[in-house]
Amino acid sequence: MHNLTITQLREKLLKKELSASEITHYYLERIDREDKKINSYITVSSEKALESANRFDNNFEEEKNKKLGGIPLAIKDVFSTKDILTTCASHILDEYRPVYESTVTRKLLEQGAIFLGKTNLDQFCHGSSTVTSYYGPTRNPHNVERLPGGSSGGSAAATAADFCAGSLGTETAGSLRQPASWCGVVGLKPTYGRVSRYGVLAMGSSLDSPGPLTKSVEDSALILSVIAGHDSKDFSSYDAPTLDYFSAIDSSKIKGMNICIPKEYLDMDIQEGVLENFNRSVEILKKLGANIEYVNVLNPQYAMSVYTITCRSEVSSNLARYDGTRYGLEGKDKSTVKTYYESTRGEGFGQEPKRRVMTGTYSLSAGYADEYFKKSEQVRQLIKEDLENILKKYDCIVSPTTPTTALKDEEADNPLFGEMSDILAEGSSEAGLPGISIPNGKVENLPTGIQFIGKTLDELTILNAAKALEESLN
């Protein structure tokens, strides 16, 4: 059962070679035995998971045709899950159990998924390392002395360590693809608005995109088929047709595909081994029949500057709701709640959220909004137009996912570490474009990643390209 993909597990379930209870027990035992050194989970819902598995097994004929029937998944602790502790890795949400289900998790449950628990993250998604969590840092399963990336580091690590069949995360500007690259798994960031944000505790409202972290491209396509679609509860979701991406994926489409490589992305300070693995992957794509050309794009440092201003401005607005009066400690007497929040409002937010709130508040304040936020949004529009113009001529863009392999803690001791590690993904996120990162080798036993960036709502093309390369790299 070790390291089987979702599609492989589904095949064994349907052939009755394995039961959902056996699979769920397998993951829960691995979590209990090995997650102490990785710390990928904040909450493990053992009882609920086993109940769901038994229900699948006892109603096999009714449940077997659900796309994710009997499959145990991990959920980033930023999705509202009914009656399950939801913390955003912050003490400000101690004891908060939502009374409703996010659209994404509801869709997964309706298709038979089993939730193993909620995974660790940078507090309120503020970071790219998963060390700012109040529940302790997550470690990289390939080397526990290294970072897993973030903010979806817990989900990526849980998938890489085989503590789940797959997981859900979110990306604001690299926070799916970067941890996927560092942990050696597949990370799919859909088009902004392709997947509903309803019930996702917001970081940057104009950027946040839920997506899967899996062991194969096929698995990501399968989960996307379940979670994509218009949602009347999310005004930013696209009212556009979706596909059964899992059935539609076709790696033979790589032949004749026009792919471009941004020269400016390769001008970044990219680690030698990361660049070597990327160049080798490009040669494979050429042999598979893809046409590869180099193009010029706006300097990625503009995207980093935009993210620094725009995201922090939205953060300052979104975190204002956590005012110490509305979340957690339901049923407690008023004096307990008052004492708790008087101490927690200041202490509940860690250093990184406070830093981002202060920066964002400053950039939105009277006299500075035009100078900073408005100008940032204007540059963001230029980045969007630049990438969209390039994608009128090409099917997709390809580049390394991140400039380096997983770093050590001390190498990430910089207030702008996240922006620097996500620099190759930020522009496409700001433009709302879909992107997917897949593993393409190792450097000193640490994974490297390659990403494909596609046109708005054209997830299928990047899935086809990623699948073709994945098959050849296997």
Which residues are the active-site residues? 76, 151, 175
Contact at 8 Å (CB) between 56 and 94?
Answer: no
Amino acid present at 262: P
The vertex-173 CA angle with 203 and 104, nearest 5°, equals 60
The distance of Cα 163 from the centroid of its chain, to the nearest Å, equals 17
Nearest CA to 314 out of 236, 247, 403 is that of 236
Token digits of residue 42: 């904040």
Contact at 8 Å (CB) between 400 and 424?
Answer: yes
Question: 61-65: long-range contacts (C-beta < 8 A, 24 or more apart)?
Answer: 63/112, 64/13, 64/14
Q: Bridge partners of 228?
A: 195
Token digits of residue 103: 């659209």
Whole-number Å distance between alpha carbons of 89 and 119: 9
Q: For residue 263, what are the contacts with CB-CB under 8 A and spacing of at least 6?
A: 294, 295, 296, 297
Residue with tokens 């009277």: 366
Beta strands (DSSP E) in 143-290 are 166-171, 186-189, 209-214, 258-262
Contact at 8 Å (CB) between 128 and 174?
Answer: yes
Contact at 8 Å (CB) between 130 and 39?
Answer: no
Token digits of residue 237: 């979701």
Residue 474 CA: distances (Å) to CA of 164, 216, 256, 449, 471: 21, 10, 22, 14, 5
Whole-number Å distance between alpha carbons of 292 and 8: 33
Helix (H, G, I), strand (E, B) or coil at 58: helix
The vertex-164 CA angle with 158 and 169, nearest 5°, equals 60
Helix, strand, coil percentages for the chain (3-state, nearest 5): 45, 15, 40
Contact at 8 Å (CB) between 40 and 163?
Answer: yes
